[in-house]
Amino acid sequence: MDANSSVPKQSIEHSFAGMLIFLTAANGTAINVYAIMVVLWLQLQKTSFGILCLAHEVPDVIILLSFALFCAPVTYFQITNEKTEQLSRLIGHIDFIAWNITVYSHVHVAINRFVSIYFPLMYRRVFTRRITISLVFGYSTLAVIQTTALFFEGCYLYYIPNVYLWAFSNTLCGNCLRHSDMFLGISLMTLVMGIDLCTFMKIRKTIGEITGNQATDEKRQQKQEIRFYMQALVQSTVYIIKKLCFYVISIFMSSKWSVFFFTFFAWMACHLLDGLILIIYNYKKLRNLTPLYTTSRTI
């Protein structure tokens, strides 16, 4: 009786997990696509900060789209065969590259905000569109090189449908990749925290110096730089929490669902929130821009 009743229960769990993954990933994809459109509507891609925003929003879309189109159906229908496993490894490789790009992007965003707040004149000379695009190309190439080991037999990142988890292969190579991802990710996010803290200290001083004697354009520019910093700070905080959930808190979890929520779901939520934060921090500018679009379309 217990054995028979456990089958429907597992089926319900798989169905629920598949639907939850699809809804989270699909909504996250839509949010990040909209975030990319916000960057383009506000023409932020003409700035160094806007280019870096696109550099982590595009990988967000790639990752979440793969979760919605692959992980959700194989979880819901419990599809386990050789072709599915091979596809899982390919998607895992692509997502691992995309994840590394988002991490490196947030590091460069932190540096970008630091220089813009501390050295505004140098910022205009150093962080040009050409140099920023070169930086993005450089660390994207590094992200690809970093996953070279995944091309070798027995070394892969794959999805396990019955427990709703992504995992590295249980081999020496897989374990090395797992630990390197953990230590590098936590180290880079710690670096970001340090840079953001230094930037915050300067911003506190800058806010006190924004007086009525300053030109309107100068005050507007300072406020925009501070808003960009706050956006970057909240986004990097989400990434730090995700890393802690994935590699630290999940260790103390024992049930399938608790591990799922602190690993795979945390991964999805991280990318979803990344786009949502960008939209929220640029909503006011976007709202002010909307009447202009409405008027021009009417004319």
The DSSP annotation for 83-128 comes to HHHHHHHHHHHHHHHHHHHHHHHHHHHHHHHHHHHH-HHHHHHHS-
**What's residue 224's pLDDT?**
79
* Residues in the chain with pLDDT values less than 70: 1-7, 207-219, 289-299
Residue 289 has phi, psi (to 5 degrees) of: -80, -25
Q: d(Cα 6, Cα 103) in Å, to the nearest integer? A: 41
Bridge partners, residue 159, by sequence: 166
246 residue type, one letter: F
Residue type, 277: I
pLDDT confidence of residue 4: 57
pLDDT score at 276: 97
pLDDT tens string 152-188: 989 999 999 999 999 999 999 999 999 999 999 889 9
Q: How far apart are CA 226 and CA 232, in angstroms?
A: 10
259 Cβ neighbours under 8 A, 6+ residues apart? 163, 165, 250, 253
Q: Give pairs for 73-82: CB < 8 Å, separation 24+.
A: 73/18, 73/22, 74/159, 74/161, 75/14, 75/17, 75/18, 75/21, 75/161, 75/164, 76/14, 76/15, 76/17, 76/18, 76/19, 76/22, 77/18, 78/14, 78/161, 78/162, 79/161, 80/161, 80/162
Q: What is the pTM of this model?
A: 0.90
* CA 79/CA 203 separation, integer angstroms: 52
The CA distance from 231 to 222, in Å, is 14
- Token digits of residue 53: 């925003």
Task: Evaluate whether 239 touches 270 at the Cβ level (below 8 Å).
Answer: yes
Asked whether the beta carbons of 75 and 164 are under 8 A apart, the reply is yes
Which helix H or strand E contains 47, and what residues bound it?
none
- pLDDT value at residue 205: 79
